[in-house]
Structures are given as C-alpha cells and as structure tokens.
C-alpha cells in the first residue's frame, strides 16, 4: 500500500487500511508497528529532503545556511532588505527570496518537511513569518531573541488571538542550550534542535 499526502494506492484490507494510513502519515522513520490483534505492520517512510527556511539574513543566517547545506538540508533565505538578502551574502543557498514574509510565503508555500527559523530581530519581518509558520504544518518553528524579546513577542501574538497551545510550537529562544556565543556556535545549536525535531527526538532546549 502506498500512502502520500494526496494519494492512497493499493489496500491491505478494509480492517487495516485506516490504521495503515494514519500510521504512515505520522511516520518519521521506517518502523514495525505491532497492532492490538498481534499483527505487525511495517511502515517504510520515504521523506523528501528537509528544507530550512531562514527569515532574516543576519550574520547568524550566513553560518546557519552553510551548516544546513552540509547536513543536506535545502536552504531558503527570506529577507526584503537587499543588504541582508543578497546573492553575494548567500552564494550557496538553494533559493533566495527578496520579499516580505507575507508575500514570500504566498509564492513559496510552507509545507510539512520544512523548518522555519526567524533571525531578523525585527517584528515587522519575524512576526508575519511566525504567523505563516503557525498556519502551516512545518515540522519546526524557531525564533531568535533574548528571553525578554521572546516574552514580548509571545504577548503580542496572544493579543492577535493565538492560543498558548499554538505558541508552544515556537522554539524560543531558538536552539539547544549549549552555551553558544558566536554565530557558528549559535548555528550549531539551532541545527541540533532542528535535526532532533526532524528525527522525532524530544528536546528540552
């Protein structure tokens, strides 16, 4: 039986099909599932290459894009400011979008196999990107900023009508707590958290 986002082909029998579809669409890696009646169901998850969407072309973004490429993530940088979103600054990214996030994600829809990280420190750029990410099923959302900055952002988004459960999807401050204090180390902390989330491993920051 083949199960995709928009396709179901074949059948394991009426008593198994619904369970198989549910497990397949939740699968992160190949696994054998033992069902209540003792039957075993093998799910061979084949996922497309993950994509890292970086919003804001600050110095951390340069290091983050390089590291993501090494880890075989497709990379997309979104920044409306030409000084930060230039090809000379990001020569190795797969896609560079010089547009405000609201426009950018109309032309580049966010999908399940994507992680979104906001780095601009500018609410006019970061907040719309986070709103777009929360409206999608991306597997990871992260926001750079001090705890104070993130508290203020959290309060703004509560006023906009987001629930605590929705905002809990945002990893903020972004990245694992490894004591990072330069762009390369911060990039490592971010990618560590992104990869752990992609692989279905719990992270506590």
Domain range for 124: 51-198
Q: Rounded distance, CA 159 to CA 164, Å?
A: 11
Q: Are residues 22 and 58 in the same domain?
A: no
Q: pTM of this prediction?
A: 0.82
Indicate whether 168 and 70 sit together in one domain.
yes
Q: How many domains does the chain have?
A: 2
Tens of pLDDT, residue by residue, the chain (205 residues): 898 877 889 998 888 888 989 888 877 678 899 988 888 999 888 777 899 999 999 999 999 999 999 999 999 999 999 888 888 899 999 999 999 999 999 989 999 899 999 999 899 999 999 999 999 999 999 999 988 999 999 999 999 999 999 999 999 999 999 999 999 999 999 999 999 999 888 776 5
Looking only at the bridges linking them, the beta strands covering 31-34 and 40-43 are: antiparallel
User: Looking at the structure, do residues 90 and 28 belong to the same domain, yes or no?
Assistant: no
Assigned domain for 147 exists:
yes
Claim to verify: residue 35 and residue 118 sit in the same structural domain: no
Q: What is the CATH number of the domain that holds 152?
A: 3.40.50.720
> Does residue 205 form part of some domain?
no
Q: Are residues 57 and 35 in the same domain?
A: no
Q: At CB < 8 A and 24+ separation, what contacts does 7-13 make?
A: 12/41
């Amino acid at each position: 039986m083949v199960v995709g986002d928009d396709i179901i082909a074949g059948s394991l029998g009426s008593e198994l099909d619904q369970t198989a579809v549910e497990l397949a669409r939740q699968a992160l890696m190949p696994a054998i599932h033992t069902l209540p009646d003792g039957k075993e169901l093998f799910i061979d998850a084949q996922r497309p290459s993950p994509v890292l969407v970086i919003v804001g072309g600050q110095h951390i973004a340069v290091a983050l894009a390089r590291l993501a490429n090494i880890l075989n993530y497709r990379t997309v940088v979104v920044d409306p400011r030409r000084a930060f979103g230039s090809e000379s600054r990001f020569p190795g990214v797969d896609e560079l979008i010089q547009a405000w996030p609201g426009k950018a994600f109309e032309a580049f829809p966010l999908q399940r196999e994507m992680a979104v990280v906001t780095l601009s420190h500018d609410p006019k750029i970061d907040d719309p990107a986070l709103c777009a990410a929360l409206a999608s099923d991306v597997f990871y959302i992260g926001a750079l900023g001090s705890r104070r900055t993130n508290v203020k952002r959290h309060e703004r988004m509560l006023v906009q009508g987001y629930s605590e459960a929705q905002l809990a999807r945002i990893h903020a401050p972004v990245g694992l707590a490894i004591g990072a204090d330069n762009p390369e180390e911060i990039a490592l902390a971010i990618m560590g958290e992104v990869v752990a989330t992609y692989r279905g491993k719990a992270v506590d920051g």
